[in-house]
Structure 1
Amino acid sequence: MTFEPEELGQSRADLAETLKTLRKRAGRTQVWLAQRCNMSQTKVSNIEGGKLTPTLVDVELILRALDAPPKLVSEVAALARTANTEWQDVWSQRRTGLEKKQNELAGFEKSSTDFRYFLLSMVTGLLATPEYVRASLAAIPGDHSKAIAKKLERQAVLYDMSKRFTFILTEQAVRWPYLAAPVMAVQIDRLVSISLLPNVRLGVIPLEGHMPTAPLNTFTVYDSRIATVETSTGAMIFRDHRDVSAHLNEFSTYEDYAVFGEQARGWLTAWASRFRS
């Protein structure tokens, strides 16, 4: 399926209106539909009003209850998948303020328990030193002091023992010379320190041996609910279970290539030493 950015915003409204129209054509009330789908009437109302984006499971339940024909089921399911996909371009993020994006990420972190980060080319904000965080925003015009403060504030979630984190970093992500050599060494030291937290698994993929698969993007999976994929011009947010499952499977593949624990810390210490030398 091809996603057009403008469709990703409009599709929510289209889906809401389509489901509402189908129910009315079937001569059914929201209360009847809620009972048939084991939902609350409030949830049905919010779906039809565009206040709540239904999952594909929700949509399938509704269409089955309304006895929709197979062709229509396929079309509405495709619309639902598009509605569960969001595109956030970097220009809009800069226009509305980068701290808004940080608040959104903090919301994901607050509502999730199990986190998986695949880091292809650089260190993510939760693992970054203040110097690294500042450098990551240095090329963007404007005052980003609030966004920087929020990024550093978000790191407190790592010390919430009710949450579990798995970070996988490629050697390139760890060693890309984003900062001067001595400061890069300190950044790698932070990775070693965080890897010792009991609720954190931090792995690295050294660039050696044979790896028959090649990653294309940095991505994060929150529980089994949401997957975010980063590109140079923005981020895709997936809520469709098929997209989330695909990223969970991809993560599992890279997890098999990664080394963790003392072996990972050995690599990190060696890379930090190279920067110090």
Structure 2
Amino acid sequence: MSGPLEPDLQADQRATLAGSLRELRRAAGLSGERLAARCAMSQAKISRIETGRTLPSVVDVEQIVKALDVPAEAADRLLSLARVANVGYTSWRSATRVGSWHRQREIKALQESSAVVRQFLPAIPSGILQTPEYARAALTSPVPGASDRDVEKMIDVRMGWKSNLADSGRAFKFVLTEQAVVWRRAPLEIMIGQLEHMADLSALDTVDLAVVPKEAAVFAAPLNVFVIYDERLVTVELFSGGVALRDPRDVAYHLELFAFFRARALEGGEATGFLRSAADDFRRERRTGK
């Protein structure tokens, strides 16, 4: 996977890709309609790709260069360009400048446009699983900054995500590590409430919640939080920002990763029991002070 790009460079790459495909079609003496027929695409889609209104997938570009009989070297260059263009990067600094809560609204829209949302959570429960108290503790930075003013707005939007869990037309699949479940991000009372809340949510028909216990034999590193929307988009969280992946091969790879960790996790009643047991452990600690 190519490294992330800053927004201005991303736009340049996409514009270059659109212009190159347009010029190749013209050089081949084909109309947009004839090229569309060769690629089994609509003429409208070809037009949107060539004008930069639609970002073509790597598969789209493969079909176009094959239909145009583009020489191998030029085809490889265009495919590399498509792979780069299909990786979107947003820094947290950029998100903070426009208001971090706007990003929370974008996530809600992505959830609402997807039938299946898969979330791999190695360090912290997803916002859609959080109680308001836990969300406040998680979103409040230990280092004061501009984003602090957005915390309450972000919590309000996150709580609004939960309406999606009640939609019988959607499925939410979560894989959390034990560390994500028990990491002390808040006072004991809040941790207990968060664990019980997740246990309650796991009983919903739309929720499939699994937990990878620390004693599980997992010979892979759970490096990043990632979310898969249907089979069309993956978002990956980094310390510095977020990356959006649209290349079908990147999506397929993350689906395999999700299945790998899911196969080593507690599920169903065992996962729910694990969450309630962890809540009981915190209750004993609160009671005894140990």
Query: TM-score scaled to structure 1, two decimals?
Result: 0.96
Q: Distance in 1 between matches of 2:157 and 2:236?
A: 21
Give the CA deviation at 1:157.
Answer: 0.4
**Alignment size in residue pairs:** 277
Q: List per-residue Cα deviations over 1:181-219 (Å, max 9, x = no partner).
A: 011000000110010001211011111142222211111
Find the counterpart in structure 2 of residue 189 from structure 1.
196
Give the CA deviation at 1:4.
Answer: 4.7
- Quick one: which of 82, 86, 89 aligns to 1:87? 89
Find the counterpart in structure 2 of residue 226 from structure 1.
233
> In the alignment, does 2:254 pair up with 1:247?
yes
- Quick one: which of 100, 103, 111 aligns to 1:101? 103
Aligned partner of residue 20 in structure 2, secondary structure = helix
Give the CA deviation at 1:144.
Answer: 3.4
Q: List per-residue Cα deviations over 1:6-35 (Å, max 9, x = no partner).
A: 343421111111111111221222122122
Find the counterpart in structure 2 of residue 162 from structure 1.
169
One-letter code of the match for 1:105? I
Q: Distance in 2 between matches of 1:249 and 1:163?
A: 21
Q: Distance in 1 between matches of 2:150 and 2:245?
A: 30
Contact conserved, 1:9 with 1:86, CA < 8 A, in 2?
no
One-letter code of the match for 1:5? L
One-letter code of the match for 2:140? A
Q: Distance in 1 between matches of 2:11 and 2:210?
A: 36
Aligned partner of residue 103 in structure 1, secondary structure = helix
Find the counterpart in structure 2 of residue 213 from structure 1.
220
- Quick one: which of 13, 16, 19 aligns to 2:15? 13
Tell me which moved more, 29-38 or 68-77: 29-38
Find the counterpart in structure 2 of residue 133 from structure 1.
135
One-letter code of the match for 1:224? E
Aligned partner of residue 141 in structure 1, secondary structure = helix
Aligned partner of residue 237 in structure 1, secondary structure = strand
Percent same amino acid at aligned positions?
39
Find the counterpart in structure 1 of residue 283 from structure 2.
276
Find the counterpart in structure 2 of residue 55 from structure 1.
57
- Quick one: which of 110, 113, 125 aligns to 1:111? 113
**RMSD of aligned alpha carbons:** 1.4
- Which ranges of structure 2 fall in alignment gaps of 5 or more residues? 142-146, 285-290
Q: Distance in 1 between matches of 2:4 and 2:111?
A: 28
Find the counterpart in structure 1 of residue 30 from structure 2.
28
Aligned partner of residue 2 in structure 2, secondary structure = coil
Q: Distance in 2 between matches of 1:220 and 1:143?
A: 23
Query: TM-score scaled to structure 2, two decimals?
Result: 0.92
Aligned partner of residue 149 in structure 2, secondary structure = coil
Q: List per-residue Cα deviations over 1:217-274 (Å, max 9, x = no partner).
A: 1111111111111111111110000101110001111011101111112211111011
Q: List per-residue Cα deviations over 1:135-164 (Å, max 9, x = no partner).
A: 222113324333221111011101111111
Contact conserved, 2:195 with 2:275, CA < 8 A, in 1?
yes
Q: Distance in 2 between matches of 1:32 and 1:229?
A: 38
Find the counterpart in structure 2 of residue 46 from structure 1.
48
Aligned structure 1 segments of 4 or more residues deviating by more than 6 angstroms: none
Contact conserved, 2:4 with 2:88, CA < 8 A, in 1?
no
- Which ranges of structure 1 fall in alignment gaps of 5 or more residues? none
Contact conserved, 2:216 with 2:264, CA < 8 A, in 1?
no
Aligned partner of residue 217 in structure 1, secondary structure = coil
Q: 1:252 to 1:143 in 2, by over 3 A?
A: closer
